[in-house]
Amino acid sequence: MQKQPAKKTVQGTIEEALKKLNINTKVMHAGRTDRGVHALNQVIAFETPDYWNEQKLKNSLNKILKPSIYIKNLQKTHNGFNPRFDAKKRSYRYVITNKFTPFNANYTTFYPNQIDIGKINKSLQLFIGMHDFEYFAKTGSEVNSYIREIYQAKMFTYKNLYIIKITGNGFLRGQIRLIVDFILKINEGKLTINDLKNQLMKKELISKHLASPNGLYLERIWY
């Protein structure tokens, strides 16, 4: 998501689209997403001249941005609005399939093993509450605190998909993918729930591998 020199990003692409409409502005976003990760409802903010109508600007941007980016809604907000720091709650979903097809390979994570939903949900329940997630954050994350609160963590099925949904007051870089990798290893018997407890309580760093980005979606942000 975040703009990077000499690399194509969502932020950079939107700023280029705005320039084509003679709007030179910087786009602020609610959160960065790693390469390969998707967003269903990313929130951005930028300044525009007063003469632009929201619906007309939305339609003009979507003509330029298609097919990879789509603006769902545009609305005016107060000048001090910050989509990242004003967010109260966020939810992510991670989509898994055990039936591979090249048509959705970029949008789901193929996982060939049998899934024990009961065991996974038992593992996910341990994340609910306030925790220090330093051992579930990408190495090199620059934050003032690793403490985050998780409100909901569960797996459910939808058609032929397994979906993990996690909601919290905020997330660290790589946190969801590190959590998913850990619980899938518990599902396979490579790790145990006690291993998870020890790492969550920072008694021992047992596993720190990222699940594939393909299945991860920023689902919703509350303000």
Strands 161-168 and 147-158, bridge-based pairing: antiparallel
3-state secondary structure of 143: coil
Catalytically active residues are: 34
How is residue 82 written in tokens?
């910050």
What is the tally of helices (H) and strands (E) in the chain? Answer: 5, 9
* Calpha distance 30→90 (Å, rounded): 10
d(CA 164, CA 158): 11
Nearest 5°: the CA angle 42, 148, 223 is 40
Distances (CA, A) of 109 to 33, 71, 98, 164, 178: 16, 25, 8, 12, 14
- DSSP output for 56-94: HHHHHHHHHHTTT----------TT--TTTT--EEEEEE
Q: What is the largest CA-CA distance in the chain?
A: 60
